[in-house]
Copies of this chain bind each other. A is one copy, B any other.
């Protein structure tokens, strides 16, 4: 982690929002930042050149998926994930924990780690903090996440206590694995369910170990949005302000604005990419489903206020035709637009923070969507 650092450039005066820069061995990341998700070593048909054109500064890759296929040893043999997928900017890898814990009956948790069966071929595996680190290091991740348990919601307090303590012990095991002088940064993940005192305890446990950045985990797991915002509002200030703060798996455009307002620097979510594949598009005025018959002869672009490649060149009618015809170009173009929307949103947020107009930006954002706030 020799080259990893976070510089706080500007603190908003009205909110907890902050503008910063993360420096890594593979370049700088201007924050707040949204990270597109490239689960299996690709972001839904987008070429790396398109991702850069869109403004993606860093992408997220899934340890669980790449471990099962094609395997981290193979990726390492091929020169690491960056070379394998032709992406030379930073990559953050999750720990695999979230996917394993989503398997339900197919996994079993012990102090050692999580035993699970592969969804691909039924083969049996044991994911431990040490293996998760080995995988992420083999992939060549720039930002490694500790292996932890994402606690479901709701959960009993006893379960949350035990799980959070175990995750802290796992976090320490992860820290112990990372070689001194590694170019990879290691982030701790705060758990504690929706219990304030346990969140505080988790944040303290992690800071005692010491990490290059800190994330809030266990959010966006089915809880009310207001509860998620409360957890951010309480949880983010518990983290050191000279380190990047990341809320995992969040979220909608609204969630990003509210997360930033509460002091979050980094986000990731499958929403723009998954929605794109289902024909759901993000616009200045809210979401739209390109499948709808009303767009059959609509020659407007997806979002008349958007200046992305797709909105400059294609009509809603064409995108609907591509979608209805099952053409893969539908996914390519829809993903391009949605990710551009997310990147532009973050660029707008960063600009407003530099200019000291974030609260105004936030108000305008809701006004255009006719949303109360």
Which residue numbers of A lie inside 8 Å of B, CB to CB?
40-42, 44-47, 69-70, 74, 77-79, 84-86, 296-297, 299, 313-315, 317-318, 320-322, 324-325, 327-329, 331-332
Of the residues B44, B74, B77, B324, contact of A328 by C-beta under 8 Å: B44
Residues of B near A314 (CB, < 8 A) are 86
Residues of B near A315 (CB, < 8 A) are 78, 84
Q: Are B322 and A42 in contact (CB under 8 A)?
A: yes
Q: Are A332 and B70 in contact (CB under 8 A)?
A: no
Q: Are B41 and A318 in contact (CB under 8 A)?
A: yes
With A and B bound together, what is the CA distance between A47 and B331 in angstroms? Answer: 12
Of the residues B86, B321, B327, contact of A45 by C-beta under 8 Å: B327
**10 A-B pairs with least C-beta separation:** A45-B328, A42-B329, A70-B321, A328-B328, A86-B313, A40-B325, A45-B329, A42-B327, A84-B318, A78-B317
Please give the count of copies of this chain that the complex contains.
2
With A and B bound together, what is the CA distance between A44 and B325 in angstroms? Answer: 11
With A and B bound together, what is the CA distance between A42 and B331 in angstroms? Answer: 13
Of the residues B79, B327, B328, B332, contact of A299 by C-beta under 8 Å: B79
A272 → B minimal CB distance (Å): 16
A120 → B minimal CB distance (Å): 10
With A and B bound together, what is the CA distance between A270 and B301 in angstroms? Answer: 30
With A and B bound together, what is the CA distance between A200 and B264 in angstroms? Answer: 77
With A and B bound together, what is the CA distance between A332 and B299 in angstroms? Answer: 26
